[in-house]
């Protein structure tokens, strides 16, 4: 690849020189199962972004990390080069429109990622941030499901995967793009990166290769050498680089790789076990003792009697129905679908439906999806469609009751992972949620262990009192315990059915 954007590739499989000028470069966000697992989110449909042709580079060229930045990340990828125009083609014919396959590195500067908010213009569009090559594999000799991608950082293999483990097959990606725009000869599609993408620093060398193991066909190794750049950023013109721990974690691939301390788990297995044992009524009492009187999600009941729910909150907000807003936010991969498709194991989806019972806020399909992802339960202060079917799914669901109407009757799915109101209570992402037949309470994570221990201790005390009542002792002086009964309890003794000699 040359800096003038005319691609002169010296080693296609037939030895010819190939020159092409791509009209556009398209890139897929998350496409490999391993990358989805690494990121903790799995898309239901492919999504794309554009890269400028001015970002093209050839093997051996330097990749610059601008002065004052820290998160230049590599992503080894398979690049497809279109040979014949494609518009509204079928999956079955998609591969016939690919002429060449080669290696690419989708470099990105995570320091600018927040400023882009998904567009990737600044962080992935810089000059030299799309090296491609060095050689070409004839697509006619390649099985689109049998390509292997490998990436090395300073000689160490850090990425290895095959197109057989793509979430979206290459042919689907091509056909999908073609139903939105025409793919023209020379256009390049970067098909996503597997797990293992990470940060490179000045002095590092990153190599990417695409090959077909069975035939020995290869792109050769695409080499990028990272160097410190001299670019600076004028704050008066626009966004400037900044890095936080979230971007460091995503750039490096994990908190440990980024040198960040592991986040303390607020709902440990031990705490979860305690909360499974203690009733909501006991937790509510302990929360009130600590001055928390507005932590009950009112008006909701479980679809099945005897249900116990424990988890951390993942929030979803619906706003009142408005025709234009539903048209813009109600369709496609909307906030409701995103919440159910990305909920993590042990999380509870808590839905703000403003107490509106006249519409379903989830149904059997979304409940099945949540259960498949290990969701701990769903709470909505609205209605549930397919109520009896949802009740049979292995997923605790608390709601205002059944309703047959679809979402758009009253609601617009608006946003996720923000502070919401549900059943008259404020719920924040990460709050600990506990529900049973008595209702649902919210426990601030910072006091959850203390509240659980106190509630368990009170349960043990109440069980002892109940036993004394069964044995014939009167309630007076025993519930609540006076000093004499308290002393007997703390001593772990019981008495005959004669009341104690005095009350205090």
Domain architecture of the chain: domains with CATH: 7-245 (3.90.850.10), 269-449 (3.50.30.40)
**Among 2-6, 49-53, 267-271, 480-484, which is the least confidently predicted range?**
2-6
Residue 122 has phi, psi (to 5 degrees) of -75, -45
Q: How far apart are CA 152 and CA 405, in angstroms?
A: 54
pLDDT(497) > 90: no
Q: How far apart are CA 405 and CA 412, in angstroms?
A: 14
- Please state whether 40 falls in left (phi above 0), alpha (psi between -120 and 50) or beta: left
Mean pLDDT of 23-39: 91
Q: How far apart are CA 488 and CA 484, in angstroms?
A: 6
Average pLDDT in the chain = 88
- The model's confidence at residue 264, banded by pLDDT at 50, 70 and 90, is low
Measured distance between the N- and C-terminal CA atoms of the chain, rounded to whole angstroms: 91
- The model's confidence at residue 263, banded by pLDDT at 50, 70 and 90, is low
Mean pLDDT of 88-108: 96
More confident residue, 314 or 468: 314
pLDDT(38) > 70: yes
Give the 3-state secondary structure of residue 68.
coil
Mean pLDDT of 20-26: 85
pLDDT digits (tens, 9 = 90+) for 212-243: 988 889 999 999 999 998 888 887 777 788 88
pLDDT(11) > 50: no
Buried-state track 303-325, b at ≥16 Cβ within 10 A, e below 16: beeebbbbbbbbbbbbbebeeee
60 token code pair: 């051996």
Q: How far apart are CA 204 and CA 225, in angstroms?
A: 6
Residue 148 is inside which H or E element, if any?
strand 148-153
Mean pLDDT of 71-92: 96
Residue 399 has phi, psi (to 5 degrees) of -155, 180
Residue 187 is inside which H or E element, if any?
none
Pairing of strands 130-138, 11-12: parallel
Mean pLDDT of 361-375: 94
Q: How far apart are CA 207 and CA 111, in angstroms?
A: 23
How high is the pLDDT of residue 129?
96
Q: How far apart are CA 4 and CA 25, in angstroms?
A: 15
Give the 3-state secondary structure of residue 299.
coil
Q: How far apart are CA 31 and CA 12, in angstroms?
A: 26
pLDDT(336) > 50: yes
49 Cβ contact list (under 8 Å, min separation 6): 26, 27, 29, 118, 119, 120, 124
419 with 337: CB under 8 angstroms? no
Q: What is the DSSP string of 44-63?
A: SS--EEEE-GGGEE-TT-EE
Neighbours of 252 (CB within 10 A): 19
How high is the pLDDT of residue 2?
33
Residue 143 has phi, psi (to 5 degrees) of -90, 120
More confident residue, 254 or 183: 183
- The model's confidence at residue 10, banded by pLDDT at 50, 70 and 90, is very low
**Among 31-40, 146-155, 186-195, 477-486, which is the least confidently predicted range?**
477-486
241 with 111: CB under 8 angstroms? yes
- The model's confidence at residue 16, banded by pLDDT at 50, 70 and 90, is very low
Q: Which residue has the tokens 């989806």?
A: 349
**Among 119-133, 212-226, 391-405, 482-496, which is the least confidently predicted range?**
482-496
Residue 428 has phi, psi (to 5 degrees) of -115, 150
Residue 55 has phi, psi (to 5 degrees) of -85, -5
Give the 3-state secondary structure of residue 82.
strand
pLDDT(384) > 90: yes
409 token code pair: 């009757």
Mean pLDDT of 163-180: 95
**Among 58-67, 141-150, 230-239, 284-293, which is the least confidently predicted range?**
230-239
pLDDT digits (tens, 9 = 90+) for 449-478: 999 999 998 888 888 888 888 988 888 888
Mean pLDDT of 328-355: 91
pLDDT(500) > 70: no
Residues of the chain above pLDDT 90, percent: 66
214 token code pair: 């069975």
Q: How far apart are CA 245 and CA 62, in angstroms?
A: 27
Q: How far apart are CA 54 and CA 24, in angstroms?
A: 10
């Amino acid at each position: 690849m040359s800096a003038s954007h005319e691609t002169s590739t010296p080693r296609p499989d037939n030895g010819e020189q190939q020159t092409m000028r791509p009209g556009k470069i398209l890139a897929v966000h998350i496409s490999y199962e391993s990358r989805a697992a690494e990121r903790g989110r799995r898309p239901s449909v492919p999504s794309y972004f554009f890269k400028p042709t001015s970002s093209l580079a050839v093997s051996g060229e330097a990749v610059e990390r601008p002065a004052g930045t820290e998160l230049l990340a590599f992503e080894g990828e398979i690049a497809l080069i279109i040979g014949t125009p494609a518009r509204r083609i079928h999956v079955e014919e998609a591969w016939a429109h690919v002429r060449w396959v080669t290696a690419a590195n989708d470099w990105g500067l995570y320091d600018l990622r927040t400023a882009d908010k998904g567009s990737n213009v600044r962080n992935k569009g810089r000059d030299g941030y799309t090296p491609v090559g060095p050689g070409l594999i004839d697509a006619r000799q390649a099985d689109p499901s049998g390509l292997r991608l490998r990436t090395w950082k300073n000689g160490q293999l850090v990425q290895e995967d095959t197109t057989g483990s793509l979430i979206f097959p290459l042919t689907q990606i091509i056909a999908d793009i073609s139903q939105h725009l025409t793919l023209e000869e020379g256009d390049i599609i970067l098909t996503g990166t597997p797990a293992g993408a990470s940060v490179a620093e000045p002095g590092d060398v990153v190599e990417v290769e695409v090959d077909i193991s069975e035939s020995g066909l290869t792109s050769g190794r695409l080499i990028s050498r990272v160097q410190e750049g001299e670019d600076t950023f004028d704050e008066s013109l626009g966004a400037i680089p900044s890095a936080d721990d979230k971007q460091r974690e995503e750039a490096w691939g994990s908190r440990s790789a980024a040198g960040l301390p592991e986040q303390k788990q607020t709902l440990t297995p031990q705490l979860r076990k305690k909360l499974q044992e203690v009733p909501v009524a006991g937790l509510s009492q302990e929360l009130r003792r600590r001055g928390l009187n507005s932590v009950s999600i009112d008006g909701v009941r479980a679809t099945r009697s005897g249900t116990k729910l424990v988890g951390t909150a993942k929030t979803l907000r619906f706003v009142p129905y408005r025709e234009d807003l539903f048209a813009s936010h109600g369709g496609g991969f909307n906030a409701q679908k995103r919440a159910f498709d990305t909920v993590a194991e042990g999380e509870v989806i808590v839905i703000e439906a403003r107490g509106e019972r006249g519409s379903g806020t989830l149904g059997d399909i979304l409940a099945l999806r949540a259960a498949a992802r290990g969701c701990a339960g769903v709470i909505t202060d609205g209605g549930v469609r397919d109520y009896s079917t949802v009740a049979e799914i292995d997923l605790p669901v608390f709601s205002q009751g059944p309703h047959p109407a679809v979402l758009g009757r009253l609601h617009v799915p608006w946003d996720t992972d923000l502070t919401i109101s549900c059943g008259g209570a404020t719920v924040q992402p990460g709050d600990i949620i506990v529900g049973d037949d008595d209702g649902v309470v919210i426990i601030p994570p910072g006091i959850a262990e203390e509240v659980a221990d106190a509630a368990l201790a009170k349960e043990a005390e109440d069980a002892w009192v109940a036993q004394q009542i069964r044995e014939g002792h009167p309630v007076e002086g025993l519930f609540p315990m006076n000093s004499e009964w308290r002393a007997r309890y703390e001593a772990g003794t019981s008495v005959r059915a004669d009341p104690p000699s005095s009350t205090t």
